[in-house]
Structures are given as structure tokens and as C-alpha cells.
Amino acid sequence: MNSFKDIQEEYAELYDTLRQQRDELRVQIHLAGMEVKDEWEELERQWDHLRSKTKELKDIAGDSAVEASHTAKDLAHTISVGYQKIRDSL
């Protein structure tokens, strides 16, 4: 079983990777079509939710933190898949 510190480090790495992908795509989205922009808007809403989960993870510990981490990782995966879909369409 991973320690809470391991979970925090793994999550921070995942979050940083998504943040980098987001920044790169944001530039390309500016030039993209309306359909891609709509997908981007939905991913931005999910990104805001992930950011709130990140703040939540800093304030909790124990089993609640593990559960919140799993939820955040699932959301991060959904965002990552969405980013790849947009990247593929550009």
C-alpha cells in the first residue's frame, strides 16, 4: 500500500503533466474550429473541478485522502483522454 506521501507525490506529478498538456493545447485551441472549442470548454470545467480536488487533498489525511486521490486520478484520466482527443483532431 502506498503511503500518503507517495500518493501526494504521484498525484502532483500527474497534475503537473496535465497542466503542461493544457498549456500547450490552449495555444492550439485558439486557432481551432468550434467543435474543438466546445470540447475544450467542457475539459476546462473538469480542470477547475480537478484543481479544487487538489486543494482538498492538501487539507485531508488518511482514508479520506486515499478516496479523494482516487476520485482525482479518475478525473485526471478523463481530462487526459480529452486532451489527447483534441490533440488528435488538431
pLDDT tens, 40-63?
Answer: 999 999 999 998 888 777 777 666
Half-sphere exposure of 15 (CA within 13 A, CB side): 18
Q: Domain for residue 47, yes or no?
A: yes
Average pLDDT over residues 79-89: 92
Average pLDDT over residues 5-26: 89
Residue 1's pLDDT is: 65
Q: Domain for residue 29, yes or no?
A: no
Count of domains in the chain?
A: 1
Domain that holds residue 40: 4-14+34-89
Q: Of 37, 68, 74, whose CA–CA distance to 55 is shortest?
A: 68
- The number of residues making up the chain comes to 90
What's the pTM value of the predicted model, to 2 decimals? 0.71
Q: Domain for residue 58, yes or no?
A: yes
Residue 26's pLDDT is: 86
Q: Domain for residue 70, yes or no?
A: yes
